[in-house]
Amino acid sequence: MPRQREARPLSEHYGDMVRVALMEARPAGLHTYQLMAATRLTRSQVGRGIRHVRDVAAEDLTPITWTRRDGYTFSDDPADWIEYDKRQFRQILGRLTRVITGTLDPHLARYPDDEWAQLASAQLTGVRATLAQLSK
């Protein structure tokens, strides 16, 4: 009989540790290695905690942002939030563009009458245009 394993809320625990460390460092930010030292977590545990904070535990609805200079931080400046969002949209746009040009376009070139590929192309072209506008 296989042993059932209880679900442990590790992400929540790591997220709390990361959130507390960032709040203590506020308004300054912390880089990953600094978060590792402050929380005594591994790199992957810190990453899991950051994802949890981003998903569910942002303090007072203040988003967690990352910059090369400051690392992870809870910024009160909406300009920081907008710049971070734009960088995220640019990354998504790049990935989507590679999917379209590297996979979908060759699919349509080989099978131009494929209804699914035509639908995907039409939909993704709209998403691509939206992301391009949002990342400006």
Rounded average pLDDT over 66-77:
85
| Whether the predicted pLDDT of 2 surpasses 70 | no
pLDDT at residue 98, rounded to an integer: 94
Beta bridge partners of 64: 74
Residue 109, H or E segment: helix 105-110
Nearest 10 degrees: CA dihedral of 7, 8, 11, 16? 150
Q: How far apart are CA 32 and CA 67, in angstroms?
A: 11
pLDDT at residue 38, rounded to an integer: 94
pLDDT at residue 81, rounded to an integer: 85
| Whether the predicted pLDDT of 49 surpasses 60 | yes
Rounded average pLDDT over 67-71:
86
Predicted confidence (pLDDT) per residue in 12-46, tens digit: 899 889 989 998 888 888 999 999 999 999 999 99
Rounded average pLDDT over 90-115:
93
Q: How far apart are CA 22 and CA 30, in angstroms?
A: 7
The pTM (predicted TM-score) of the whole model is: 0.69
Residue 67, H or E segment: strand 64-67
pLDDT at residue 7, rounded to an integer: 46
Residue 111, H or E segment: none
